[in-house]
Amino acid sequence: MDGFGTPPPAAAATSAVLDDDDLLGEILLRVAFPTSLVHAALVCKRWLGLASDPVFLHRFRDLHPPRLLGFYVRTTGRKPPQFVPVPQPPELAAVGRSPNIDLGTLGSDSPPRSLYVDCWNDLLLLTSFMDTNEPKRIVRCPLYPARYTTILPPVPDSSFHDGFTYDEGEIILDGGGDGLSSFYLALASKGQQTAVHVLIGDGKVYNLASVGKIDKLFVLDLASSSLSLVNLPEEALPWRGRLSLADHSGVHLINVKDLEIRIWLHKMDSNGVPNWFLANTICLREIFGNHMIPIHMLVDVDDYYLAVHAVGFNAEFLFIEIDDVLYLVDIKCKVLKKVYEMTQEDTYFYTVSPFMMVSPPKFPVMKEGCDLKE
């Protein structure tokens, strides 16, 4: 300040910006990484309130979608899944190494006979089969290893409908707030009706199933308990691919046909009628050529030998297998990268599970006196 108590122009300009919640929110919105946003929230209670506001976080997610940190791949029956990181900027280098935890024993003296990994935001659901038929399910949080390691209780008996065969169902995890919740979704088949793939999001359960040898999309609205049956687009049949939740609402259907990756979007129109839209197509021959990958790899390769193993939220990326090589495809940028190649020890790709940066970020909890804690 000068002798009259007037702040210098630079300090006054800074104060005018930082004291304005709208301007400060726009600055925080342009922070590139969730980790940087959490660090900014530690400045004071006001900054924490702005950064953790649900409306702000919704805008932040639109501008900075959750990043792929890596993936867990399982290629043999006895070998536990391994974490394969993908390159990260320096700001996320340490975070990118966190999911590389030992999955070999799960707290047991001997490795499991087989182990499956499912990823739910920042949570891992590890299902292991030892020498008994009853699987053991453990929830781990690699980014916050001290938070908890939870053993889930046995699933309930779901065989209460005569004539139906119940396959292994799906565990749905929710690690929001300070606790962990889960529920079990049983899958059943009868005759030619077979459940094959399930997603849950936006208060709905999406299930791709075969009904009388015809593929359909089932949509169960949990709020209204209503069930609808939707035909798949004719151009997507026969269907061989994956589902991906769409941003805000709806679902994507991703399949490979005629050496093209085709991404369909299912949404309701203004009249509430479901419609399919072809949102994007990617020519594999073109993208291979752009990355100087020999085209001969696709010679005499038909769609049967192309397997889509996993798809990211909002169809932002996918993992595709071609000739025992796993590729990561960035859908938006149309960038392809080889991320895993079979070795002599590998059998085939059992599972590929993407592991994402947690979204929304987990902020510190405010103590009395405006102190912060993890």
C-alpha span between 187 and 153 (Å, rounded): 19
Q: How far is CA 311 from CA 159, 215, 329, 352, in A?
A: 31, 19, 9, 10
| Averaged pLDDT, 308-320 | 88
Mean pLDDT (the chain, rounded): 75
Q: Return d(Cα 282, Cα 289) in angstroms, integer.
A: 12
Q: What confidence tens digit (pLDDT) does each residue in 209-260 have? A: 766 667 778 777 777 777 777 888 877 776 677 888 887 778 888 888 878 8
Q: Which of 185, 237, 194, 238 is nearest to 212 (CA)?
A: 194
How many residues can be counted in the chain?
374
Q: Which domains does the chain have, with CATH numbers?
A: 9-62 (no CATH), 67-356 (2.120.10)
pTM: 0.78
CB of 251 within 8 A of CB of 268? Answer: no
Q: If you compute the radius of gyration of the chain from its CA atoms, what whole number of angstroms results?
A: 24
Span 69-81, average pLDDT: 82
Q: What angle do CA 143, 50, 14 make, to 5 degrees?
A: 115
Measuring CA to CA, how many Å separate 264 from each of 46, 243, 250? Answer: 42, 9, 11
For 247, the 3-state DSSP assignment is: coil
- 317-322: strand order across its sheet: 306-311, 317-322, 325-330, 335-341
CA 77 remoteness from chain centre: 24
Q: How far apart are CA 154 and CA 159, in angstroms?
A: 15
Residue 233: how many CB atoms within 10 A of its CB? 17
What integer pLDDT is reported at residue 9 of this predicted model? 64
- Return the minimum-mean-pLDDT range out of 137-146, 157-166, 257-266, 337-346: 157-166
pLDDT at 11 over 80: no
Specify the higher pLDDT residue, 69 or 176: 69
Decide if pLDDT at 20 tops 50: yes
The burial class, CB within 10 Å (0-12 / 13-18 / 19+), for 103 is: buried
Structural contact between residues 359 and 121, judged by C-beta atoms closer than 8 angstroms: yes
Tokens of 20: 């304005």
Report the DSSP beta bridge partners of residue 264.
Answer: 253, 278
Better pLDDT: 339 or 137: 339
Percent of the chain with pLDDT over 90: 4
